[in-house]
Amino acid sequence: MATGRNHRPATSRSRGIPEATVARLPLYLRALTALSERSVPTVSSEELAAAAGVNSAKLRKDFSYLGSYGTRGVGYDVEYLVYQISRELGLTQDWPVVIVGIGNLGAALANYGGFASRGFRVAALIDADPTLAGRTVAGIEVEHADGLEQIIADNGVSIGVIATPAGSAQQVCDRLVAAGVTSILNFAPTVLSVPEGVDVRKVDLSIELQILAFHEQRKAGEEAPEEEETAPPAAPPAAAVTKKRSEPGPDGDVPAVMPA
């Protein structure tokens, strides 16, 4: 069950743009769109980099992968760059998206206006709960999970969003993939196993918070060096160790780090 085999399948780099650059293009696009709305005709790499929160050299190198549509001494034409990046990201076409799992999060996503703004269209909302089916969320009728495959096929959906509980995520994922979905955005806290050629990106709130907590603890530990961080307390892991095996000695004791 869920062997967890994902090799980061080739991703891009087929004949061009590095993955790190692809991840920044939406950032540039957003900044450029804002400039466009303010009718700014051109921007320098320095200005745009500041707006996107990146290094200007990095930005220039990123754009060079697209073919570099800049003018030396002047900068980049905003409108033209907006179009070029949009085209590169595939936003000039319409991407129908299904959301599976219309609970707290799924409903919020359905109500989110940020979808339609950039080429994404919520084609269907799907949930396994029979009492939800037929209800309308964000002006779209929730359909029962039984018709998942048909919905995917009818709408030519290739991008799916999973917002079900973790326990159902792999199963939903399998059905989506079998029905033809090749890109998945996963909000459930699970590692999804997918065949090669299917892209999975995850959004995981818990992980983000835990990373923040780590740094937070680090900061606190640096401020107050004599706290309880460095000092190895004899306090055992509470109810952590259920069946204490043949522990060589250190329980909450000295870390016993003995480099070879």
Ligand X SMILES: NC(=O)c1ccc[n+]([C@@H]2O[C@H](COP(=O)([O-])OP(=O)(O)OC[C@H]3O[C@@H](n4cnc5c(N)ncnc54)[C@H](O)[C@@H]3O)[C@@H](O)[C@H]2O)c1
Partner DNA sequence: CCAGCTTTGTGCACGCGTTCACAAAGGCAT
Partner DNA sequence: ATGCCTTTGTGAACGCGTGCACAAAGCTGG
Binding site for DNA (CB under 7 A): 7-8, 13, 18-21, 43-46, 54-58, 60-61, 63-64, 68-76, 246, 248, 259-260
- 3-class SS at 90? coil
> Which DSSP letter does residue 258 get?
-
Question: What string of DSSP letters covers 172-226?
Answer: HHHHHHHHT--EEEE-SSS-----TT-EEEE--HHHHHHHHHHHHHHHHHHH-SS
The answer to whether 88 contacts ligand X (rule: CB under 6 A) is: no
List binders of a second copy among 163-222 (CB under 8 A).
Answer: 182-185, 189, 191, 193, 197, 199, 201, 203-219, 222
- The dihedral region occupied by 75, where left means phi > 0, alpha psi between -120 and 50, and beta the remainder, is left
Residue nearest to ligand X (CB): 103
Query: Between 56 and 155, whose beta carbon lies closer to DNA?
Result: 56
Give the shortest CB-147-to-a second copy separation in angstroms. Answer: 23
Q: Is 112 in the site for ligand X (CB under 6 A)?
A: yes
| Smallest distance from a second copy to CB 146, Å | 25
Q: Closest approach of Cβ 194 to DNA, in Å?
A: 16
User: Do strands 75-77 and 70-71 pair parallel, antiparallel, or not at all (unpaired)?
Assistant: antiparallel
DSSP state of 243: S
Tokens 């089916």 belong to: 133
Residue ranges in contact with ligand X by CB under 6 A: 100-106, 108-109, 111-112, 114, 126-129, 132, 145, 163-166, 168, 171-172, 187-189, 205
